[in-house]
Amino acid sequence: MMVEISPSTSTDADTDDKNLRFLNSQPVASVTSDGSDKPRDQKTLRRLAQNREAARKSRLRKKAYVQQLESSRMKLTQLEQELQRARQQGIFISSSGDQSQSKTGNGALTFDVEYARWLEEHNRRITELRGAVSSHAGDGELRIIVDGILAHYDDIFRIKGDAAKADVFHILSGMWKTPAERCFLWLGGFRSSELLKLLTNQLEPLTEQQLLAINNLQESSQQAEDALSQGMEALQQSLAETLAGSLGPSGSSGNVANYMGQMAMAMGKLGTLEGFIRQADNLRQQTLQQMHRILTTRQSARALLAISDYFSRLRALSSLWLARPRE
């Protein structure tokens, strides 16, 4: 038997709301041609529920997509700001992706000038040391000159550290060196272990204790160099994988967001390059200091002269190579 519900005549608004909620909570019914109510088919109800769920998921996907676009826009704005700051410092990037340098305000150019001045002063100090050794100066006079040269080496490591913060690729590539020097370059400088090998034959005679200490220093330097080289290789592999992860069909908004995210990760990994340069220079600096402690003052003087002569010959070799006849 059907139950007929008549409209409420009460003036109480709360009563009307309760009636409305009651009606909305009842199962939806359809009216047949003969006037009787019949519950909807379960298949129809299930389809309606699926449609509502699909609409809800569509709204969530749209919301996530909008948030992703906003995040990508913020990252792009940040990169544009960093690029603008780089331009203000005198570093300009062409449309082909090649980096060109301005004549003022550029960290690489500033370092090149400072390095040229450092090298000129270094050569002057080496000439002074050579004269003192040739004239058989006393240990006191030699010690002052040797200490001055070692302190001068500290200056170039400090200058390189500052330059790496401005342009780590310039220091890492060794473009401030001559071509022959770059051939033997390792993380922006010389290998301490290789230099110690060269010095062993130049400093004879050495006592057994000195020879043992030099060999131990060489081994520890080699181990530290191997660790840094492995870390550098791991960084390069990780960087390559990160960049490859952003490859895909161009033009899609999803790929743009992925590209921006991958590039941000790559930028973060590149920041560790400065640390590798700093650690390599610390190793070189410590090697020179340890060598000075192992050797006598006169032996240290001869070692510094040998190091200077070796790099001078590399620079001379570069000049001869560049001036060679070309057919």
Q: What is the pLDDT of residues 187-230, one digit of tens each?
A: 999 999 999 998 888 888 899 999 999 999 999 999 999 999 99
pLDDT confidence of residue 247:
66
pLDDT confidence of residue 45:
85
Count the Cβ atoms, other than its own, within 10 Å of residue 301: 22
pLDDT in tens, 261-297: 888 888 888 889 999 999 999 999 999 999 999 999 9
In the chain, domain spans: 106-244+260-323
Provide mean pLDDT across the span 137-166.
96
pLDDT grade for 22, boundaries at 50, 70 and 90: very low
Pick the residue with more confidence: 43 or 94?
Answer: 43
Whole-model pTM: value is: 0.66
Q: What is the mean pLDDT of the chain?
A: 81
pLDDT confidence of residue 99:
44
User: 140-164 in b/e burial notation, b at 16+ Cβ within 10 A?
Assistant: eebbebbeebbeebeebbebbeebb
pLDDT confidence of residue 288:
96
**Calpha distance 128→323 (Å, rounded):** 30
